[in-house]
Structure 1
Amino acid sequence: MTGICFEAHNELGRYSREKQYGDLIEKKLIAVHIPYKREYNIKNTGNIIDFLIDNKIIIELKSKRFIGRDDYYQIQRYLQILNIKLGMIINFRNRYLKPIRIIRIDTDIKNKFV
């Protein structure tokens, strides 16, 4: 998955919109036959995931200067609701792409995110 994101970053550069990155990533996922759901609506919560890869990994695409606490809380909330172990925040605005892996919290503090 990270390889596909690196390819998208190299092709589009760092100043495109999230939708443009998403469209290109979707084409690349189709080309390599990786099952995914795009803009997946989470159980009528109003939350929408950018990509759910093979029902195992949540991918959140960003195109902004800084990743903040709210971005981490957002993906942690998605991980808790769907009971998925791994998520990734991909911020395409950086000069060098650096995917951030987020692991679901399995302690009592998880209630903070739901």
Structure 2
Amino acid sequence: MLENQVAGAAIGAAIEVHRALGSGLLESAYSECLAHELRLQGIGFETEVPIAINYKGLVLDRACRADFLVENCLVLELKSIEKVEEVHKAQLLTYLRLMNRKLGLLLNFRVPVIKQGVYRVVNSL
């Protein structure tokens, strides 16, 4: 599955960023550095990807934004928070449904070891 390979590469990039910066910075710093690391590794991505919502004929073209869309198949949602809650996972699942994607990763950088901050979210479509 392509998504799993891309997820492995994205996690590797996040590990590299976290190893260099540590924990405790703002999400925006991790986002910029992760984008740079993905570029260095030759991994294709988009940032701040607009997500449209169609509600009973009302179309909201930019109702929300995904932090990253990697290789057009993996959605990344970045956080730098004390504790990941179920609502954060639900947010990513909603993004996956609206974007018609199967796999997303919630990456929380405010942890001692980044592997403790990686959460896989799957949309069964």
TM-score, normalised on structure 2?
Answer: 0.81
CA contact (8 A) 1:76 1:105 kept: no
CA-CA distance at 1:70 after TM superposition:
1.1
Kindly indicate whether residue 90 of structure 2 is the aligned counterpart of residue 73 of structure 1: yes
Runs of at least 4 residues of structure 1 off by over 2 A? none
Residue-by-residue CA offset, 1:60-114 (whole Å, 9 max, x unaligned): 00000111111011000001011100000000101111211110034xxxxxxxx
Kindly indicate whether residue 79 of structure 2 is the aligned counterpart of residue 62 of structure 1: yes
SS at match of 1:42: strand
Give the number of aligned pairs.
106
* Two-structure CA RMSD over aligned residues (Å): 1.0
SS at match of 2:107: strand
Kindly indicate whether residue 24 of structure 2 is the aligned counterpart of residue 15 of structure 1: yes
Aligned residue type for 1:64: I
Residue-by-residue CA offset, 1:20-57 (whole Å, 9 max, x unaligned): 00111111111122110001111214211110001100
Report 1:1-40 matches (<5 A): 1-40=10-49
Map of 1:42 onto structure 2: 51
Unaligned runs of 5+ in 1: 107-114
Report 1:90-101 matches (<5 A): 90-98=107-115, 99-101=118-120
CA contact (8 A) 1:37 1:52 kept: yes
Map of 2:55 onto structure 1: none
TM-score, normalised on structure 1?
Answer: 0.88
